[in-house]
Amino acid sequence: MKRFILVIIMMISTFGIYSFKMNAIGAKKTSYASYYHDKFNGRKTASGEIFDNAKFTAANRTLPFGTNIKVTNLNNGKEVIVKVNDRGPYHSSRALDMSKAAFDEIGDTDRGTIPVEYEIVD
C-alpha cells in the first residue's frame, strides 16, 4: 500500500512539473485575443483588483494572477506587455481578453479579435 501511495505521489509531482514547464518563461503559445467592453470599467476582477481599461492588463483562464506576458499581434508584429489580473475569456477560440488600451497598442479596436502569440516574461 505504501508503494502505491508513493507511486501516486510521484505521478502527481511529475504532472506538476510538466504543467509548470508548459507555462515556463519563453514557452510561446498562439491563439486569439479580444478586448474588454467599457462597461467593465470599475468592476472587480477575479484577482480582486478594480478593472481599468486604460491599464495594460489581461484575462487568462490558467496563468497565475500577476504574471506578465508579452503579447504579439501576428498580423503586424507589434508587441505589448500585460499583467494577468482576471479569469477568462470564456470563449473556446480565445486565450486572452485584453484591456482596451493594451489591445489598441497592438491592434485595431474596430476588429473584435486578433491572432496573437504570447509568452511569459519576467
Q: pLDDT digits over 71-107, tens only? A: 999 999 999 999 999 999 988 899 999 999 999 999 9
Cell of 45: 476582477
For the entire predicted model, the pTM comes to: 0.78
- Residue 106: count other Cβ atoms within 10 Å of its Cβ: 21
Q: State the Cα–Cα distance between residues 103 and 111, nearest whole angstrom.
A: 10
CB burial readout 79-99, b (16+ within 10 A) else e: ebebbbbbbbbeeeebbbbbb
**48 dihedral zone (left: phi>0; alpha: psi -120 to 50; beta):** left
Query: pLDDT (tens digit, 9 = 90+) per residue, 25-58?
Result: 678 999 999 999 999 999 999 999 999 999 999 9
The H-or-E segment that residue 28 falls in is none
